[in-house]
Structure 1
Amino acid sequence: MNDSALDWQQIHRTFQQIWGYEDFRPPQAEIIRVLLASKDALIILPTGGGKSICFQLPALLQTGLTLVVSPLVALMENQVQDLRSRRLRVALLHNELPRTQRRQTLQEIERQQLKLLYLSPETLLSPPVWERLSHPLLKINGLIVDEAHCLVQWGENFRPAYRRLGAVRPALLKSKPSGTKIAIAAFTATADLTAQKIISETLQLRQPECFLTSPYRNNLNLQVKIVWTPKCRRERLLKFVRRKEKQAGLIYVRTRRDSEALAQWLNSLNYPTAAYHAGLSPQERRAIETSWLTGNRLFVVCTSAFGMGIDKPDVRWVIHFHPPLLLSEYLQEVGRGGRDGQATDALTLISEPTGWLDPQDKQRDRYFLLRSQQQYRQAQQLVKKIPNRGTIDAIARQFPEGEIALSLLHSAGRLEWLDPFHYQLNPSQSSSFPARDRLQRQPQLLMRQYLTTRRCRWQFLLNAFGFTTQATGFRCGHCDNCC
């Protein structure tokens, strides 16, 4: 199909033929128009809002390749499997692929046989992939950053490749014919005002069209309960799970160790479950996902690694056995419940405020904060040892935490990426680091305020995510404070 010949009737007909829906949901049509016009965009749609179609359809209608940066293998596999079942020209690349499949996909890129390519930020910036994407004759329409909140949550000290994505477009354009356009669109279900700014600045979005949809869902009933001891926390969980017998759910914890210990305890009480975390093998993760999706296992004890992009409509409850660190994580995770529009309970268990009887929550928060502060101190030391210009590979080989340190320096304004692989220090910003400690504590403080607020919880969330007009005088009737 010729790009210039596209009209809305053709677009709508293709949409119906591929997905079988009668019409778009708001604001899908408007987003599709923007992406077909090669404009940058920042899109915030609630979980289950149909955001994948917004970038998949334009990619399939255009000539050339659209890159989709995705954070998790499971998320990529689910979307690619769905599109392949519709006989569409899509592929994925990640480190867990067999060598033969990886080689075949690289050949498909060279032969320009793909419309959509899903890959992680690390794979996008790997030499074999980058070499092929930089070929002058390969037409690239756009770069989609799916689940863009991961850039904010993980980009500094867990997945530092995210901080280099802003240098991708300028570097690719240098290798392409004059006049080439590569649009960038960031999609997420949760981004507060600070996160929106970080995403836009890091990706170097150019006058992006913004689509901000309220996260409010009146079928999600939010509750927070104080537990006074570790034993009380488990008893409260058990009581809740017994009430939800034969209903699908999720139990979120903070660490791998927590997931394994809690799953073992529940199994000993004849509740068949499994611990899901990033330390499992790909085969183990797929097996747990499949057993949950098919209903063979009613619930899973998981870290934040589970659920992103996995579509199970009938999740009737979500428990945070430990509160998450960030409000955006919380909203993402409770949003995995009730995608079918039916009433769903979201319960968060928190330690009593003093921490004397159950210090677990305070200890976890302190651990994550101290670890982050240590990484900033390492970055401050590194800036005294590295050359003003260099490559990320050289720094990573020389210093164990070198890649994370460069990411933190970039976040603090002390470094810029000349391209995705070469950096330059910016000595004029030498005073940027002292404020980091205060900035790190702010998200934790916001989460704590949410957990202890006596106001409407949905109103608190709407205010935090920038929907102040809608939230004025708002009472949801779907949280423990309103009811």
Structure 2
Amino acid sequence: MSDDEGGEAMTYETSLQEIYGFSELRPSQQVIIDVIMTGEDVLALMPTGGGKSLCYQLPVILSGGKALVITPLISLMEDQVAELKRLRLKAACIHSYLDIREKRMILNSLHDYQFIFCSPEWLATEQAKGLIDQIMFTHVVIDEAHCISEWGFDFRPHYLLLHEILKEDNQVIALTATADEKIITDILHLLKRELKVIDERTERSNIFLSVEFQQDKLKYIESLLDDAGPVIIYFSSKKICDDIHHKLAEKFSGMTYHADMTYEERMTVQTAFYNDRIQYVCATSAFGMGINKKNIRTVIHYHVPKSKMQYVQEIGRAGRDGLQAHALLLFDEEDIYRSYRFLQEDSLSEADLNSYLNGALLPEEKKEQLQILTSLFSEQQLRYIIDREYQSKKQALMQMAEYGNASQCLGAQLYHADAPCGYCQFCWGKRTFQFEKMDIPKICDDMKGYINALFNL
């Protein structure tokens, strides 16, 4: 090893120790960071809880660079900014819920921050375009990069415009835990960059997989909660999510979380759950990204998720500490039919495209979606994309139906493996778990009740 190489390694190790308090990286992090440090554009695939934030943060710090970090959710921005500030690094996020004075202060001092977090929608504003052009970003990071494909053709079309902000001298780092070949191809195509794909995903063998058919799902969940540790219960319906929570709250301490709640309410739920002040959260898929809670022991799906990729991502929030965890799907064929009806109702259709091209009135959301899509694709391309996305989502639902009805290894189904996994109900037998009990007083889930409980008022 040359003196230069030794000096670089020492700087690398010293930064890791002094800033993060780690003596070494995980092997998967090491592989990804080594490639990023060469200056290549990278698409890194890592398991949920694999420490992907460090994979972009450390290279930016070591290079003395400045990163624009694009994330899908405000909660994810806030969580990562709080963590970077804890590490004494200059970071800020820009989103619609910021106080006007706070937002003005951040915008006036953007040059001072090493990490700036924002959404694709903000980047499309005239204000953002003017500010971004003034800042010499060395890195553009796209966290949860699967959203480019999964949401870009759907309800977050601004993801399709990210290529417009990329400059030749920006190093692009895209990261995700959730991607199949279609999504990887979409990311590379839509960003219009050659990214080196590094797949460091591994199966989460500490998460026991099981499927149950239960006529009374509520009663079954109640029978589990005493021994379930910290729990996330996922729903596809906001109404049912609220209904089940209110019934569970009569006996257990928890809150509900979905997109109809205010920003302050959602942040209150996240904080309470993170700090073990409640045992469970009844949530839609809006909950989870950026929840860096390592001791979640149980993830229950009350409804069948839309795809195996979504399921892998959501159950991956359990057992991040490496200890035993449990992923339970309460399977019901009716959930598949319900999801299929939602797919038919909510998906962009050829009829929507025809209406838009003929100047007919459309809901504002679909109008904006089609404005972006028609600016990027020809009519023929767009008709193909609309059909492809619909068929892809339909196929994903059918795969979840196969998983729910499986009579052999669940892990092999989820991860497309040839050999039995060794950690599901078919490989390991039926299991019940008795995780450490949580001694939490039952509290109200309204803001006033929560604050009163904190201060014993």
| Band the TM-score falls in, shorter-chain normalisation | 0.7 to 0.9
Q: 2:438 is matched with which residue?
A: none
Q: Does 1:337 align with 2:321?
A: no
Partner of 2:355: 381
For 2:365 and 2:77, the matched residues in 1 are separated by 29
Partner of 1:113: 112
Structure 1 residues 379 and 79 mapped into 2: Cα distance closer, same or farther (>3 Å)?
same
- 1:363 shift after superposition: 4.4
Cα 1:402–1:251, aligned 2, differ >3 Å: closer, same or farther?
A: same
Structure 2 residue 351 is matched with structure 1 residue 426: no
CA contact (8 A) 2:245 2:256 kept: yes
Residue 481 of structure 1 is matched in structure 2 by 426
On the 8 A contact 1:220/1:345 being kept in 2, the answer is: yes
Is the CA contact 2:340–2:394 (under 8 Å) kept in the aligned structure 1?
Answer: no
1:296 is matched with: 277
- Residue 286 of structure 2 aligns with an amino acid whose one-letter code is A
The code of the aligned residue for 1:299 comes to Y
Structure-1 residue corresponding to 2:141: 144
> Normalising to structure 2: TM-score of the pair?
0.86
Alignment match of 1:213 (pick from 200, 212, 219): 200
**Partner in structure 2 of residue 155 of structure 1:** 152
Aligned residues: 423
RMSD over equivalenced CA pairs, Å: 2.4
Give percent identity, aligned residues only.
29
- How far off is 1:297 after superposition? 0.4
Structure 1 residue 369 corresponds to structure 2 residue 343: yes
Q: Distance in 2 between matches of 1:55 and 1:80?
A: 14
Q: Is the 8 A contact 1:379 1:406 kept in 2?
A: no
Q: In the alignment, does 2:395 pair up with 1:442?
A: yes
List alignment gaps of at least 5 residues for structure 1: 174-179, 354-358, 387-394, 410-414, 416-422, 464-470
- Structure-to-structure mapping, 1:122-137, within 5 angstroms: 122-135=121-134
Conserved in 2, the CA contact under 8 Å of 1:376 and 1:405? no
Change (3 A) 1:123 1:435: closer
Q: Which amino acid aligns with 2:356?
A: L
Counterpart of 2:450?
none
C-alpha separation in 2, matches of 1:294 and 1:238: 22
Say whether residues 1:204 and 2:204 are aligned partners.
no
Report the 3-state secondary structure (helix = DSSP H, G, I; strand = E; otherwise coil) of the residue aligned with 2:112.
coil
Instruction: Indicate if the aligned counterparts of 1:90 and 1:116 stay in contact, CA closer than 8 A.
Output: yes
Structure 2: which 5+ residue stretches go unaligned?
Answer: 430-457
Distance in 1 (CA, whole Å) between partners of 2:125 and 2:286 is: 23
Q: Give distance in 1, aligned partners of 2:227 and 2:246.
A: 20
Partner residue in 2 for 1:240: 224
The 1:326/1:105 distance shift into structure 2, 3 A limit, reads same
What's the TM-score, normalizing by structure 1? 0.82
One-letter identity of the residue aligned with 2:211: V
Following superposition, the deviation at residue 239 of structure 1 comes to 1.6
| 2:254 counterpart SS class | coil
1:254 is aligned to: 236
The one-letter code of the counterpart of 1:194 is K
User: Within 1, Cα distance between the matches of 2:387 and 2:254?
Assistant: 45
Distance in 1 of aligned mates of 2:227 and 2:382: 56
CA contact (8 A) 1:38 1:142 kept: no
Q: Counterpart amino acid of 1:348?
A: L
Instruction: State the match for 2:13 in structure 1.
Output: 12
8 Å Cα contact 2:232/2:299 also seen in 1: yes
Which sits farther off after the overlay, 113-122 or 209-218? 209-218
Q: Secondary structure at the match of 1:401?
A: helix
Summarize the Cα distance change of 1:133–1:266 in structure 2 as closer, same or farther, 3 Å threshold. Answer: same
The residue that corresponds to 2:439 in the other structure is none
Q: Deviations over 1:180-209 (max 9, x none)?
A: 511222111121222211222222231x22
- The answer to whether the Cα contact below 8 Å between 1:89 and 1:116 also exists between their aligned partners in 2 is yes
1:91 deviation in Å? 1.0
Q: Residues 125 and 435 from structure 1, CA distance in 2 versus in 1: closer, same or farther, beyond 3 angstroms?
A: closer
Letter in 1 for 2:100: R
2:309 corresponds to 1:310? no
Partner Cα distance (1:218, 1:31) in 2: 22
Task: Give the alignment of 1:173-184 within 5 angstroms.
Answer: 173=167, 181-184=169-172
> Which residue identity lines up with residue 24 of structure 1 in the other structure?
L
Task: Classify 1:53/1:160 alpha carbon distance in 2 versus 1 (closer, same or farther; 3 Å).
Answer: same
Give the secondary-structure state (helix, strand or coil) at the position aligned to 1:271.
Answer: coil
Conserved? CA contact 2:70–2:119, under 8 Å = yes
Contact kept, 8 Å, 1:149 with 1:190, in 2: the verdict is yes
**Which of 170, 176, 191 is the equivalent residue of 2:179?**
191
2:308 corresponds to: 327
Return the alpha-carbon distance in structure 2 between the equivalents of residues 6 and 32 of structure 1: 17
* CA separation of 1:215 and 1:384: change in aligned 2, threshold 3 A: farther
Amino acid in structure 2 at the alignment position of 1:124: L
Query: Are 1:457 and 2:410 matched, yes or no?
Result: yes
**Amino acid aligned to 2:124:** L
| C-alpha deviation, 1:346, in angstroms | 0.8
Structure 1's 376 and 311: CA in aligned 2 closer, same or farther, altered over 3 A? farther
Measure, in 2, the Cα distance between the counterparts of 1:327 and 1:448. Answer: 10
Could you report, residue by residue, the CA deviation over 1:131-190 in whole angstroms, capped at 9, with x for unpaired residues? Answer: 11113xx21112111111222332222222112112221xxx3xxxxxx51122211112
Q: Distance in 2 between matches of 1:149 and 1:167?
A: 18
